[in-house]
Amino acid sequence: MKQKEPWRLEKWQMRTREAIFTILLICCECQTPGCAVAHEVREMIRHMCSGVDHIIDMRQRKRTYLMCLRWDPFDVEIRMSLGMLAHSQGWYDEAKWLFESTLKLPVNSAAQHDAHNFLGVMHETSFNDPGQARQHFEAALTVNPMSSQAHHNLANLYWRTWRREEAFVHYRKALHIEPHNTFFVYGLASAMLQSDESRESLENAKMLFLKAITLSPNFADAYRGLGHALRDLGFYEEASRAYQKSYQMFSHLKGEQRILRAHQIEAKLLHFSALLAICDLHSIETILADVKASLGHYLAGPDEVSSHKDAISYYLDVHPLNVNLYDIAHIVDPLVLLQIARRRGYALTKLVKSTILYQQIDSSNTFQRNVKLKNVFKVAMLSSRFDGDHYITHAIITLLKACKPALLNDIVIEFHVISSARVTPTKERTLVMEKLKNESNSFIYAYSMSWHQIALHINSLNCHLYLDLDGYTRGAMTEVSVLQASPLQAHWFGNYSSDFGGYSWGDAMPTRRDSRVVDCEILIPKMNRSKIIFANFNSLYKIDPALVNVWKSALFSSNDKSWQLWITNRPKKAAENLKNHLTDSKNELRQWSESEDESLSHQFFTSQEKEKFSDELILVTDLQSAKDHIRVKSCADIFLDSFRLGSHSTAADALAAGLVLVTLPHIGALSRVASSLLAASGASATIVRTSQEYHDLLQVWTRRTVLGVRYMRKRLSRRVYRSDIWRHEQWAKKWISLIRMWWDAYVALSCEWQLVAS
């Protein structure tokens, strides 16, 4: 007998099964009381419909369930099955009625628990009612206190409504009851990862992610979470492997293609950023085309998401927000960066205006829309870097001190500081935070607060200006701006409605001038002060191939080698990789951006093979303490800024240390901070316009004597120190005047509240 082809056999089986099912439906119409055949047929139909059976059409299954309910209106199992079917098809009102009517029947505890659990999930995700959802989850736990699923659902609800402590309690209870459930292990690990940046918390999260992977080796989300934990612990090489594994897992999954593709894009970008952090430029070159293609695919998708459910998943789960715009600023042009930022803004706005928390709070609280300027101008500042250690903390303390005596037309400036830092301050940091509290008019820790609670706090203070000092870096709470709690709003690096053409708000941030009397040879034994000391104190993920090629061409061609290049070992192993790139005289790195100036690329290594650098010419040091770092940096002579992702606080440190600062600004705001500082300091002579100019300037300096370079440095530093940027009170008056002009323009135009470009 000729064997049927697989697809023909499957089609034949489907038709046979449907015919049998139809015959059974006819048989079960028998109305004879106590008919054993009809009873058996009905039980068979229940079994066919309750199983995962793709042959039975959904509409046919619903019709059958309704028929079974007509036979037995008090059949709890059929009622629950019909409710689950309705929920899976998006018939939420019908599902809600079925589950609620089930609870009115004399049902057992298991059915009560399941009905409450399903109603809780529906109220949370479908009806935007977290209050009712919580009541049903708690009712499910009252019926069965050992229900791991109810504990896990309640934990998720608490986490989304920013009740973090209660969430942890229920995450741990769910895992205690069912310790080998992959999703419960992953849920607790994710909460730990997002709650605290302490090393202990990150180590615990890492161990839980590894346990989830052991339980489910193909769990792609667990690999991604493991990568986050390893990255935050400083193990970038291991993190890159975890991200790569996540990408491979997502590539083999089946499901909604749009969601899976977004997951893959995120994993690819995270892999790229981990390699970038350790300056593994050769490995990056091999995946660069794929990364750019992923970004192109991401930008080619729809700008706006269509529904509430899409917004939540697209933004929270698969939208590549775990990748800083910093990390991809090297490989994309500013206009593409703007597209990515705008895409992020569309999804963000959709999420905030649709999320369950927004619906709950907006119904009971309204924002004041009639803020007026009288004799006090109020400024709110939010940052996750108000931790007592980051330079933002010290800079804002300086700003607040300078603004206190600075009045403009009897207008007093009030500063209200909000910290969303996740790190528990040490004793040394606590002293700095006390200074910040004393200098500000009000201060709160807001990590446990939701976006909406922070926005309401800003609005309740009647603030005229809200400044987001994080921009798009990790830890930023950009969602607060979407709620528009104040008339004027600005981001540190612009927002998704700006064209990235303006400067960042902190371009001319005042900084402290320290004493530069220091014995460099004692602090840094390998430093040779008889040579010109070039330095780059940036994190090494900011180094790109174009900069490496310029350094190799301009510095390696110097025959006398009368200089040293000073870099920081931040993060670990990055400096070793960078040294390998610099000392490899045979291999030239390709440019990352097609728009990069390639006029230098044809002259590398064409005359003769350059000799390798010795360790004496590349000086690598660890980070210095906050107390001494300015004095230590003053041992250098010339600071060589990176290209597309320039220095920000490090540039201010270089000027405070009296160094000559060379920078090449691009179109994007991320590369223009150093040039803005130089322009404000009256030292714009070292702002170059092309990589060729950068290259030529370095060659000129390598031909000068050490005394000649240091005399030039002394003259430039005097000019910098005489500028207004070092006279804090004068700078503060100009800043206040600018704010007042901004407000007057806002009032004159009768603008509605909106996000404004920085």
Is the pLDDT at 253 greater than 90, yes or no?
A: no
**Residue scoring higher pLDDT (272 or 262):** 272
Is the same domain home to 629 and 544?
yes
Q: pLDDT confidence of 317, banded at 50, 70, 90?
A: very low
pLDDT tops 80 at residue 28: no
* pLDDT of amino acid 140: 94
Domain coverage including residue 39: 12-56
What's the average model confidence in pLDDT over 418-424? Answer: 80
Residues 439 and 554 in one domain: no
Structural domain contains residue 633: yes
CA angle 677, 678, 681 (to 5 degrees): 85
Over 90: is that where the pLDDT of 210 sits? yes
* Within a domain: 741: no
Is the domain of 671 the same as that of 533? yes
What is the CATH number for 485? 3.40.50.11380
> Phi and psi (nearest 5°) for 379?
-120, 125
- Single residue among 468, 491, 514 that ends a domain in this structure: 491
Phi then psi for residue 390, to 5 deg, are: -65, 150
In this prediction, residues 179-202 reach a mean pLDDT of: 89
- Is 140 contained in some domain? no
Regarding whether 700 and 656 lie in a shared domain, the answer is yes
Higher pLDDT, 573 or 153: 153
Percent of the chain's residues with pLDDT above 90: 18
User: Do 639 and 711 have their domain in common?
Assistant: yes
Q: Are residues 390 and 476 in the same domain?
A: yes
Please indicate, yes or no, whether residues 468 and 545 belong to a single structural domain of this protein.
no
Same domain, 419 and 542: no
Q: Are residues 442 and 570 in the same domain?
A: no
CA distances from 706 to 116, 554, 663, 665 (A): 78, 17, 21, 27
| Domains contained in the chain, number | 3
- Give the model's pLDDT for residue 718: 85
On whether residue 99 sits in a domain, the answer given is: no
Average pLDDT, the chain: 75
What per-residue confidence (pLDDT) applies to 149? 94
Identify the CATH number of the domain in which residue 697 sits.
3.40.50.2000
Q: Is residue 644 part of a domain?
A: yes
Per-residue pLDDT band for 494 (boundaries 50, 70, 90) equals very low
- Give the end of a domain, one of 491, 510, 541: 491
Is 174 a domain residue? no
Are residue 397 and residue 545 in the same domain, yes or no?
Answer: no
Residue 510 domain flag: no
The candidate with the shortest Cα–Cα distance to 190, out of 240, 146, 217, 152, is: 152
Q: How far apart are CA 198 and CA 71, in angstroms?
A: 61
pLDDT of residue 422: 74
DSSP state of 43: H
Token digits of residue 627: 């107390």
User: Which segment of 61-70, 176-185, 290-299, 573-582 scores lowest on mean pLDDT?
Assistant: 61-70
pLDDT for residue 723 is more than 60: yes
**pLDDT value of residue 54:** 45
What pLDDT was estimated at residue 757?
A: 35
Question: Which of residues 25 and 410 earns the better pLDDT score?
Answer: 410
Same domain, 484 and 527: no
pLDDT score, position 423: 66
Q: Are 390 and 429 in contact (CB under 8 A)?
A: no
111 within a domain of the structure (yes/no): no
Same domain? For 436 and 579 the reply is no
